[in-house]
Structure 1
Amino acid sequence: MEVMLTVKDLEKSFKDKKALKSISFDVRKGEIMAILGPNGAGKSTTIRNIMGIMYPDQGAITFHNNGNGIPRHKIGYLPEERGLYKNVKVMDILLYLADLKDYPLDKAKERALQYLKKFDLEGKENVAVEELSKGMGQKVQFIGSILHEPELLILDEPFSGLDPVSQEIFKEEIRKLANNGTAILLSSHQMNLVEEMCDRLFMIQHGQKVIYGTLDDVKTEYANFKCTIHGKNEISELEKIPQVQRVEQNDDISILFLEKDIQPTNWIKNLPESITVNELKINRISLHEIFIDIATDKNLLKEAGEANA
């Protein structure tokens, strides 16, 4: 796929603290790329450098092989900190945002009305922003970020504060944009949504890359299998089972975290007959569990290694 955004060897320091340490990744046309990490890891600093809100100490950010900087009219941005002029009417603020991107206002108005209908805001175009609920305001700001048909869309916590129905609407629209060729860089702490939507991911911790690759590659590299057993068993007995790294137990539910490269069908044949199994499930650990492990520096997963894109 065609590369739309390249971040190369990005470094940024604040006084004596190095916030970014040689960060490199790309975002490709038509893909949803996740940038992940715990609070303070460097995600927002990276995004602000891409947007030109601040400038890196070292490194380069290029758009579509354009060495002359990033053309702002081709980028859409939904910031984590929402901010719309509260006493301005919805249509006026949308047209204002489109005008900032040099987008034709007649076309912007037509598209705005279509999006307001799609996002269940039909008839709200002449309502002041301050009269909208928080969720409605977020929908308006999302519309403002995509109204000018950006080639690159940066979404920082787009699902925060949305009810499940609104989340589905956002997910559907984000997928549609990607299918139509928009390159999307998405930051979110909702790992289930990231796992559901994203093609590739870049995880950052302490200002440096820890994971980079497709979701399948990351799961293969870092997400060992786990076996969940429902039944009353002594944890000491479960820990004796070959190829079990560790066991977590809550009442009668035991989770056995297995060694890397085990073959589940072979491993399950060797379970001792003495254990009680009312229900059993084997699957790979989730992206949420990978995130928690890295964010808390537990190092319970496979150390070192990288899933390459």
Structure 2
Amino acid sequence: MLTLTDVTKTYGSRRALDAVSFDVAPGRMTGFVGGNGAGKTTAMRIILGVLSSDSGSVTLDGRPLSAEARRRFGYMPEERGLYPKMKVEEQLVYLARLHGFTASAAQKKAERLLDRLGLGERRGDLVESLSLGNQQRAQIAASLVHEPDVLVLDEPFSGLDPMAVDTVVGVLSDYAAAGIPVLFSSHQLDIVERLCDDLVIIAGGQIRANGPREQLREQYSSRRYELHVAGDAGWVREVPGVTVVDFHGGDTIFEVDSEDTAQAVLRDAVARGPVTSYSRQRPSLAQIFKEVVA
């Protein structure tokens, strides 16, 4: 378990992080989302020890992070940091050797990882000759080549096409399934919603929402419902406390002023005839994000 507790960081009069606290649980993908300047990268750099916090703590399994523990982290910065004049495979082997692997083991790990990320045919290319998407995949490979115990990835899906996103998602999911805590930031909320188990939303250096994805969706569920009946659903307009949002024959979407009103609509629908479906609309991550940062 990677834990941030009351982490605060200021730059002059600006507070970049304000008592930030959240967990990254083992074996779970934690999505870290926020607008530009919200504090995501600052928090990640403090986790890695690139920056120091003014106060608060970062611990792993309850113990303060040492330099040795951080060597077992896999980190992908938002800015690409590979050596452009090195060949892709040569770069990965070099990084694995820095982490203490033998030349033979480093070579095998680099080959295996490049194949998994769809870069096998590019292993002999210079990093600078790769497309931006392939450079991004090479950067991800660099964060994984030493078999880290924790993954911290800043915008790992930036610049990737849909096929590459699916490939990277598969690889990261495998690491999480093996029990590794994975923290990743992204502006692509649809990917975060599809991939993450837990969600942390930050704005203005403060945590605005934090918890399991489905729990947050339930917590921020709106009072908007969908009703599908065999007959005409026009009668819903006449129910006190109901505002119809969309209507077509037996299909209607509406908002209610209370849960009692929602139940009254359901009772009326059942009394009038067959009900095909009745459900509350659950908010998307984008809708939750807009609500909590407004």
Compute the TM-score of the two structures, normalised by the length of structure 1. Answer: 0.80
Equivalent position amino acid for 1:14 in 2? Y
- 1:81-160 aligned within 5 A: 81-160=79-158
Asked if the contact 2:116/2:171 (under 8 Å) is kept, the reply is no
Change (3 A) 1:127 1:218: same
Given candidates 3, 6, 11, the residue that maps to 1:9 is: 6
Equivalent position amino acid for 1:94 in 2? L
Runs of 4+ displaced beyond 3 Å: 227-230, 237-244, 246-249, 253-271, 279-282
Asked if the contact 1:225/1:284 (under 8 Å) is kept, the reply is no
Residue 175 of structure 1 is matched in structure 2 by 173
Change (3 A) 1:107 1:200: same
Asked if the contact 2:20/2:206 (under 8 Å) is kept, the reply is yes
Give me the whole-angstrom Cα distance separating, in 2, the residues matched to 1:63 and 1:223.
33
What displacement does 1:151 show?
Answer: 0.7
Equivalent position amino acid for 1:106 in 2? S
Alignment length, in residue pairs?
284
Given candidates 191, 194, 216, the residue that maps to 1:193 is: 191
Structure 1: stretches of 5+ with no match in the other structure: 231-236, 272-278, 298-309
Identify which range, 64-73 or 140-149, moves more after superposition: 64-73
User: Share of identical aligned residues, percent?
Assistant: 34
Asked if the contact 2:136/2:158 (under 8 Å) is kept, the reply is no
Equivalent position amino acid for 2:27 in 1? G
Asked if the contact 1:91/1:126 (under 8 Å) is kept, the reply is yes
Identify which range, 84-93 or 221-230, moves more after superposition: 221-230
Give me the whole-angstrom Cα distance separating, in 1, the residues matched to 2:16 and 2:237.
40
Change (3 A) 1:267 1:61: same
Give me the whole-angstrom Cα distance separating, in 1, the residues matched to 2:82 and 2:48.
18
What RMSD in Å do the two structures reach over aligned CA positions? 3.2
Given candidates 62, 67, 73, the residue that maps to 2:64 is: 67
Residue 76 of structure 2 is matched in structure 1 by 78
Give me the whole-angstrom Cα distance separating, in 2, the residues matched to 1:151 and 1:225.
42
What displacement does 1:261 show?
Answer: 5.0
Residue 25 of structure 1 is matched in structure 2 by 22
Give me the whole-angstrom Cα distance separating, in 2, the residues matched to 1:118 and 1:263.
52
SS in 2 for 1:61: strand
Asked if the contact 1:32/1:199 (under 8 Å) is kept, the reply is yes
Deviation string 1:112-141 (CA, Å, 9 cap, x unpaired) is 111222222223222111111111111111
Equivalent position amino acid for 2:287 in 1? E
Give me the whole-angstrom Cα distance separating, in 2, the residues matched to 1:210 and 1:226.
23
Give me the whole-angstrom Cα distance separating, in 2, the residues matched to 1:68 and 1:57.
16
Residue 285 of structure 1 is matched in structure 2 by 283
What displacement does 1:185 show?
Answer: 0.5
What displacement does 1:78 show?
Answer: 1.2
Equivalent position amino acid for 2:56 in 1? G
Asked if the contact 2:10/2:16 (under 8 Å) is kept, the reply is yes
Deviation string 1:78-104 (CA, Å, 9 cap, x unpaired) is 111223221111112112222333333
Asked if the contact 1:224/1:260 (under 8 Å) is kept, the reply is no
Give me the whole-angstrom Cα distance separating, in 1, the residues matched to 2:262 and 2:98.
56
Change (3 A) 1:33 1:72: same
Higher helix share: 2
Asked if the contact 2:93/2:106 (under 8 Å) is kept, the reply is yes
Give me the whole-angstrom Cα distance separating, in 2, the residues matched to 1:263 and 1:194.
33
Give me the whole-angstrom Cα distance separating, in 1, the residues matched to 2:279 and 2:95.
50
Deviation string 1:163-195 (CA, Å, 9 cap, x unpaired) is 111111111111111011111011112222222
In the alignment, does 2:207 pair up with 1:209? yes
Asked if the contact 1:224/1:261 (under 8 Å) is kept, the reply is no
Equivalent position amino acid for 1:133 in 2? S
What displacement does 1:259 show?
Answer: 5.3
Equivalent position amino acid for 2:115 in 1? K
Structure 2: stretches of 5+ with no match in the other structure: 229-234, 270-276
Deviation string 1:228-280 (CA, Å, 9 cap, x unpaired) is 689xxxxxx99985555x7767xxx9864455756866544557xxxxxxx99
Change (3 A) 1:259 1:135: farther
Change (3 A) 1:50 1:238: farther
SS in 1 for 2:187: coil
Asked if the contact 1:8/1:25 (under 8 Å) is kept, the reply is yes
Give me the whole-angstrom Cα distance separating, in 1, the residues matched to 2:260 and 2:106.
55
